[in-house]
Each structure stands twice: as structure tokens, then as C-alpha cells.
Chain A
Amino acid sequence: MKALGIINFEDNTAIIEGLGEERPIPAIAFLARYRIIDFVLSNMTNSGIDNVQVYCKEKPRNLIEHLGTGSHYNINSKRGKLRILYGEKSFSSPVYNHDIANFMLNMQYIEEDTNPYVVVAPSYFIYSLDYNEVLKQHIDTGADITMLYTNTSEAKTSFLGCDVVTVDKEKNITAIDKNRGNTKTKSVSLECYVMSKKLFIELVKKAAATSSLYWFKDILKDSVGELDIKGYPIRGFVECINSLEQYYKISMALRDRGTANGLFKPGWPIYTQTNDSSPSLYVEGSSVKGSVVGNGAVIEGTVINSIISRNVTIKKGAVVKDSIVLQDSYIGENAKLDHVVVDKYAIIHHVKELKGTAEEPVYVKRRDRI
């Protein structure tokens, strides 16, 4: 595919309490063995995009460690390249640390790439899609920009704060607005744009010249009516992880095999970094039901409708219900967790009961000892 992949970061309205304070959203662990960025990056490499730039808003360590050279995402080590880029100069200020500032600071790497097209997409929208189909429509229609959207009837509870688009019968985007959660049915923009690299660079420079606070989505909104912007609808599984509640809700929904089949499709592998964990041991006396379990776990207690990540220990008498337990955590004897998100390396030992709700799950901090 003759396109440069640009994995953009989400704007400041996406806040995943707790989990998102420790690392950038793309690096958050997801569904027992993945990270959020695995989905968009796998979409790109599966589509044959071999040159990918990942823009990192903050705390790059996590992301650098997870992505490495990109070889585990099937990026050709000679012909392809994965670059992790961040705006060293804009890190310190959340207001000025937007995507345009980062693109401008790394403009030479965008300009020197030889691909005629760009596919820009953030990582916090989760779906499986072959971008070749989008590029094909883009070329066939002769549009200036083709943007992905999905129709939802859940706009009151999901995709809050996301861009919504008005699409006419010819799939022209005629307006871009925000989802304020006041209407059920909306067409949500996935913030994924296909265009010529030339136009992309022009728009980035124009945004920078217009306002020092402009994001790419702002200049795009300004361009409605001026440019020929077409929509590309995607159906099936699409979700946006932009809050802890959404993170929890989407994770839990994917415990269902049928739902998961909409995301994990045959011939479309979702890559991630291997951990060389052993299989998981379900010890005598344990009970596990309705759950997703990563490798390396040792389960002695009871797990119901939960997500257990790699190398988690659940001791005797512990009951983990409707909860998400991240990598290397330890749930001590007789602890009772109900609607809890336990971050990595946490130890729950002395406090025996934690209870949250689906709307407000209790969050246990990384490396916390309770």
C-alpha cells in the first residue's frame, strides 16, 4: 500500500482515570494480553503499510518498550520502518502539546517519506479494517480527503466528546460537530483520514499558521465546504476507549466470543509483544467462569466474568467478579473484588473487599499495596 501510516494521539478530552495517568492511552493494557495501540498498528501492517510513524503525547517509555523496532508487528525490517516520534519541545505544556505541534516538529520525517498517501488514525478507536479498501474508494471518488465514520445508536452513552459528522447521500461530509450525548443516533468520526501526503502537509502547516492551539481536527472542520471530504462508513465492531468507564465496558463486552469475533477476524492477526509466559495453571479448588485469561496466571480462587492478564496470581478463597486484573498483580487470600480495575504489579493483601459499579469501577493504582 502506497501510504505512510501516521498513528496520531487522542485529544485532551479522552481521559482514562488512573490507567491513563501512568502511561499514554495507546500503551494501556487491554484484554489480557494486548495494548490499545495493537489494533490500529496491526490494521496498518496487515494492510501492507510498512512505514508507520507513531506520535506519542507523553511518557514515551512505555510505548517505546512495547513497540520496539516493530518487527513483532510484521513490519519488514529492511523495507519498512516504525518510528516513535514525540514533540520534545511541547511536552511540558498540555495546551500546546497537540498533534499539529508534533507534526510540525517532525515535519522532515513526514516530508522525506516517499509514499504519495497518508493514513492518519488514532489508537483509541478499536476496530479491524483493511485500509486498502478506504484508499481504493478515495482514489475512485477523487476526493481530497476520505474519512472513516460509523453509525451508532449508542451516542448518548458511547463516543462522548468524539467528532460527529453529517453525511449526505453522496457520502459527502457536510458538517463536523461534537458528540455531546444528546441524541441516540449519530455518525461518529473515527478520526481516521486518508489523503495525499501533499495535502496533509499543507493542512498541518495551515493549522500551525492559523492558531498555535489548533489540532488537526480543527483545521479539518474549517476545511468542510472548501475541500471535497468524503465519508467511508464502517460497520461491525467499532468502539472508542476514551474513559475508564468505556475501557471497562468494552473490555467486558469482548468477553463474549461473538462480540470478539467482530474484532478478531480470520486472516487478520492482531499482533502484540510476546512475554514468554508459561501457560496458566488452574489449581485444584479454583473456579473460573465467563472470563478471559492471559498466560502465566496461577489461579487458586474464584474468577467470574472477569479479565485476568498475564502472570496474575489469585490466591485461595479470593473472589474476582466483574473485574479487570492487569499483568503481574497479586490478589491475596480471601480478597473479594467486585467491579474493580487492578493496575499492574498491584498487591491486594490486607484489605479484603473492594466494590465498584459498572459506571464507576474502583481503580487500584500501579504497584499499589493494599
Chain B
Amino acid sequence: MRPNTMAAMILAGGRGTRLLDLTKKVAKPAVHFGGKYRIIDFPLSNCANSGISTVGVLTQYESVLLNAYVAKDQFWGLDTNDGGVYVLTPREKDQTGFDVFRGTADAITQNIDFLDSVAPEYVLILSGDHIYKMNYDKMLQYHKESQADATIAVLEVSLKEASRFGIMNCDENDVIYEFEEKPKKPKSTLASMGIYIFTYKTLRKYLIADDKNPDSHHDFGKDIIPAYLNDNRKLCAYRFKGYWKDVGTVDSLWESNMDLLKHNNELDLGDPTWKIYTEDVNALPQYIGEDAEIENSYITQGSVVLGSVKNSVLGTNCQIGKGAVVVDSVIQPGAKIGEGAKVTRCIVADDVEIAPGAICGSADSGEIELVAKKYVE
């Protein structure tokens, strides 16, 4: 049996309002990315590849599809005897009424009974809406070596971007002395990635105290981390280098997809040593027609390309009709682009059918157009 010292808890309850209609019927972590993946495949695959066997997924918003999806722990090889993926949704409990998760910390507090039953030494808190590859085991080693009460993964960002993030101000040993949420004048460029390792015993005390605090937002960034700092607990920053992207908006989801088009890109989904696993679909291989024109594109199983595709990502079972022209776009799984249609700088949502000859988006649009309605004329 493998040692089960660290349990992962993935916060996957948010709607992701800024993804507009992409999250109308599915939660943000279930949104497709990179043609064949869903966003939550990234933290789940990272967990599997890091040797973590117990993963709790906290879901809330439009959770039917997401719950069913993550429950199939065999997709990520997490169906081991000593672990698995546990779907944790808000529930009615003895003595208390039914309540939704009031914040990121509350989602964990409401599942303290689950964590107690797993009895891990450490808890890894992740969010279900970031695209990156990371070995959490290395971060755990760092947490242990620095004898921290909590370790927060940070990413070096530009000073300009820093005011969009939670910024960690650290001493020369990367020990955090201050945390600032979206500072106007950032003192540091180390941004929190929303990835925390806590020593569970300590965290448990803080969560219970937080639960009783009527003024708390029950949020890790706003409440738990500041409480740790107030008590002079040791918080360490763990510097992460590599690709990391919050795909919270239509534009950033599009950008992150476009990043895959760069040959030898940093995310490197083809790396056999750190695969990202996902649902196994029974689709045919890609069919590329005799008159197809494909330039700089990322295409997956089940796609049929009869027209022209340039600088684009095509999802599972997409169809690009004869004479259709798809440029700088992300076509989500199952979408059909009719004959002669033109799609430029768009995200075409799952299963959307674009009528023959229709024109969507334009080359000089500032924002990426989201096409989420069926049968666009």
C-alpha cells in the first residue's frame, strides 16, 4: 500500500461567470480545453502523476456533468484501492440545515469529517480552473524541508500584471510576511497560484475558528492566510516555473488554446513523462479531406476537416465543411462548421452548428467572439 500522507482537495464549485455561455450548463472546471481535455483534467492528472491517491473534488454550480465526470477516477488512474476521487457537494447534515459552500475555506470546513476519515498529514488545496503541469510531490518535499505550517505556490509575474493577483511579500528565504490581494502598488511580483499545502492538524484548528467568525468571508486568500500571518505561523512561498494560466475569461481561454499552437510550447502536452489524462472517447481518427488546407493547427480525434483551418484548435468530433474557413479560432468538441462558413477569432462552443455560408467573428475584433447558440445564420 502506498503512503497516503497528502490528500488533495480541488475547489471546483465556481461558475466562471466570465466564461459567459460556456458555463451556462456546465461548471468551469468541466469546460473543454485543448481539443480533447477538460480544465479539471490538469489538476487531476497532476495529482495522479504526483503520486497522490486521495482527491476530493468540491463541486456546487451546475455539478451534474462534473460530478459524473470526476467520479470516473479510472480516467486518471486514480481508481486505486487506497484512494480515489471523492465528489463532495454541499449536503444536509445532522443539527445544521442545508447550506451552500460560503467560500473556498468553508468548502473545506464543511468536509472536515471527510478529511478526518482520510486522516492525511498534509492537505493540498487546488483550484479546478488552471492550466498547468506541476509535481505536487516536489512542493510537499519543500513544505517539509522548510518546516512550514503552510506553503503557497507562487509564480513570478510582471510588475504590470501583479496588481491582478494575490501578491506574496517574502523575505530573502521566501518566507511570506505579508499577503496583498490585488495591490495597486505591488511590492513584489510573486503571485499566488491558488495552490496551498497545509499541515492538516493546524489547518483544522484555523478552519473551525474561521467557521465561528461571523465577519469572515470563509476564503483562503482573504481569511485563512491572513489569520496564519497574524499568528506568526510559518508560511513559505514555493516558486513555480513553467506554464500556468488562469482560463477564467473567454479571451484567456482562447489565448491558452492558442499557446498550444507554438511548436515546442512550454505546456508540451505530448510529454510522455507527464501526460494529461482525460475521458477515452470512441471516435474515429482524424479525417483530412483531399481539398483540406491546414496550417499551424492542433486537431484531435474524430475531427473531419474538408475545408481550411488556420491557427486553430479543433476539438473531438468537430466537422469543418467544404470551403469553410476557420482562422484563429477554438472549435469545441462536437461543433459543426457548415460549408463555406467563415469563422475568425471565435470560440465555437460544444455541439454548436454553424450554418453553411455564415460569417462569425472578424479578423480585427478586439475581443474573441463566443458562439454558443446553435444554428447561427
Contacts and interface: CB of A to CB of B under 8 A. Distances in A.
Determine if chain A interacts with chain B.
Answer: yes
Interface of A: 31-33, 72, 255, 257, 260, 264, 269-272, 274, 276-296, 298, 300, 303, 305, 311
B282 A293 contact: no
Given A279-B299, A280-B298, A282-B295, A260 B284 contact: yes
- Provide the main secondary structure of the chain A interface: loop
A289 B270 contact: no
B256 to A, nearest CB: 14
A285 B294 CA distance: 9
B34 interface: yes
Interface string B281-318: 01011111111111111111100100000000110000
A33 B285 contact: yes
The 4 closest A-B pairs by CB, nearest first: A279-B300, A278-B269, A32-B285, A269-B282
Given A33-B285, A278-B269, A289 B36 contact: no
Given A282-B294, A290-B289, 15 more contacts: A264-B284, A271-B282, A279-B36, A279-B300, A279-B314, A281-B263, A281-B298, A282-B298, A284-B263, A284-B295, A286-B295, A292-B285, A293-B286, A295-B286, A298-B270
B259 to A, nearest CB: 12
A289 B292 contact: yes
A257 B294 contact: no
A272 B285 CA distance: 12
A257 B284 CA distance: 11
B267 to A, nearest CB: 10
A284 B288 contact: no
A284 B280 CA distance: 28
Contacts of B304: 257
Nearest to B286: A293
Q: What's the interface size class on B, roughly?
A: 35 or more
Nearest to A304: B290
A296 B270 contact: yes
A79 B290 CA distance: 46
* Interface-centre pick from B270, B289, B304 (highest chain A CB count, 10 A): B270
A286 B300 contact: no
A293 B309 CA distance: 15
A305 B289 CA distance: 9
B290 A293 contact: no
B295 A276 contact: no
Contacts of A255: 287
A229 B40 CA distance: 56
B277 interface: yes
14 contacts: A32-B285, A33-B301, A72-B280, A260-B284, A271-B282, A278-B276, A279-B314, A281-B270, A289-B289, A292-B287, A295-B36, A295-B285, A295-B286, A305-B290
Contacts of B284: 260, 264, 292
A278 B290 CA distance: 24
* Interface-centre pick from A31, A283, A294 (highest chain B CB count, 10 A): A283
A282 B280 contact: no
Given A278-B270, A279-B36, A296-B270, A286 B282 contact: no
A111 B276 CA distance: 44
Contacts of A293: 285-286, 288, 299
Interface in B237-296: 260-261, 263, 269-270, 275-278, 280, 282, 284-296
B262 to A, nearest CB: 9
Given A264-B284, A283-B263, A293-B286, A276 B301 contact: no
B277 A276 contact: yes
B56 interface: no
A311 B269 CA distance: 12
Contacts of B296: 282-284
Contact of A288 (B278, B285, B294, B298): B294
Contacts of A291: 288
Contacts of B297: 281-282
Given A280-B298, A282-B294, A284-B295, A294 B286 contact: yes
Contacts of A280: 286, 298-300
A290 B301 CA distance: 16
* Interface-centre pick from A287, A291, A300 (highest chain B CB count, 10 A): A291
Interface in B19-47: 34-36
Contacts of B34: 278-279
Nearest to A255: B287
A285 B35 CA distance: 21
B322 to A, nearest CB: 12
A280 B260 CA distance: 10
Contacts of A311: 270
B289 A294 contact: no
A12 to B, nearest CB: 31
Given A278-B270, A279-B299, A290 B280 contact: no
A2 B282 CA distance: 26
Nearest to A278: B269
Nearest to B306: A257
B299 A257 contact: no
Contact of B290 (A270, A284, A289, A294): A289
* Interface-centre pick from A277, A280, A296 (highest chain B CB count, 10 A): A280
Contacts of A272: 282
B38 to A, nearest CB: 14
Nearest to A295: B301
Nearest to B300: A279
A21 to B, nearest CB: 25
B325 to A, nearest CB: 16
A274 B280 contact: yes
A78 B296 CA distance: 46
Contacts of A300: 263
Nearest to A288: B288
Contact of B288 (A283, A285, A292, A298): A292
B290 A290 contact: yes
B183 to A, nearest CB: 37
Nearest to A263: B284
* Interface-centre pick from A255, A271, A274 (highest chain B CB count, 10 A): A274
B57 to A, nearest CB: 20
Given A269-B282, A282-B297, A290 B288 contact: yes
A294 B299 CA distance: 10
A269 B294 CA distance: 28
Contacts of B269: 278-279
Contact of A292 (B286, B294, B300): B286
Nearest to B45: A276
Interface string B29-71: 0000011100000000000000000000000000000000000
B349 to A, nearest CB: 18
Nearest to B292: A289
Interface string B150-180: 0000000000000000000000000000000
A32 B287 CA distance: 10
